[in-house]
């Protein structure tokens, strides 16, 4: 069952759920992957509702989003899905199929090709309209030491929210 919502109606819940994490999913051709994000949020930019997400260039998801130019964000509201968050936050699609391991249901997106996760309630479908790799020279040293001690860097994706809704399995 689908319940229509406004873009910002659940923005506070999104921020609350970033810790322990929410699911970012992207798909290209026959490859679909989900990962956990703990940074991001919903803003208005260029007169459009935007979901900002950050993805490290070392992640398998990075390669998929670079090809598909779209993503979904699925937020568990009713159940915590803590085991699934742990798996999707620590394992790579290079190691295992997270949808199969977590027994997630791929539900076809309404406006984009990337699916949502049927076990989550709150969903955003987004098309990338801008991206920017972080310039680490501009990051304060204390933050850089804490988050960027390795060579991987984040790319910030600005996803125009093209659909948002609550979904519950019937």
Categorize the per-residue pLDDT at 146 as very low, low, confident or very high, splitting at 50, 70 and 90: confident
Query: Which residue do the tokens 């987004």 mark?
Result: 126
Q: Where are the beta strands (DSSP E) in 31-121?
A: 31-37, 40-45, 48-56, 70-75, 106-107, 116-117
pLDDT in tens, 6-59: 999 999 999 999 999 999 999 999 999 999 999 999 999 999 999 999 999 999
Query: Tell me: domain 2-167, CATH 3.40.190.10, correct?
Result: no
Residue extents of the structural domains in the chain? 2-167
- Integer Cα distance of 13 and 3 in angstroms: 16
pLDDT in tens, 62-84: 999 999 999 999 999 988 899 99
The mean per-residue pLDDT over the stretch 93-104 comes to 95
- Distances in whole angstroms, Cα of residue 136 to Cα of each of 21, 22, 142, 168: 24, 25, 12, 41
pLDDT value for 115: 98
Output the pTM of the full model.
0.95
């Amino acid at each position: 069952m689908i319940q229509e919502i406004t873009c910002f109606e659940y923005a506070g819940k999104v921020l609350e759920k970033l810790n322990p994490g929410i699911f970012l999913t992207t798909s290209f051709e026959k490859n679909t992957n989900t990962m956990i994000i703990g940074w991001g949020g919903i803003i208005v930019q260029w007169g459009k509702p935007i979901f900002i997400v950050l993805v490290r260039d070392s992640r398998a998801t990075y390669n998929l989003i670079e090809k598909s130019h779209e993503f979904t964000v699925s937020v568990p509201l009713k159940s915590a899905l803590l085991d699934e968050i742990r798996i999707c936050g620590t394992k790579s699609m290079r190691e295992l199929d997270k949808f199969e391991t977590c027994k997630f249901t791929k539900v076809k997106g309404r406006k984009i090709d990337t699916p949502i996760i049927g076990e989550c309630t709150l969903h955003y479908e987004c098309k990338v309209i801008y991206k920017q790799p972080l310039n680490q020279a501009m990051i304060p040293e204390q933050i850089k030491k804490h988050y960027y001690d390795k060579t991987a860097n984040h790319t910030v994706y600005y996803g125009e929210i093209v659909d948002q809704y609550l979904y519950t399995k019937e």
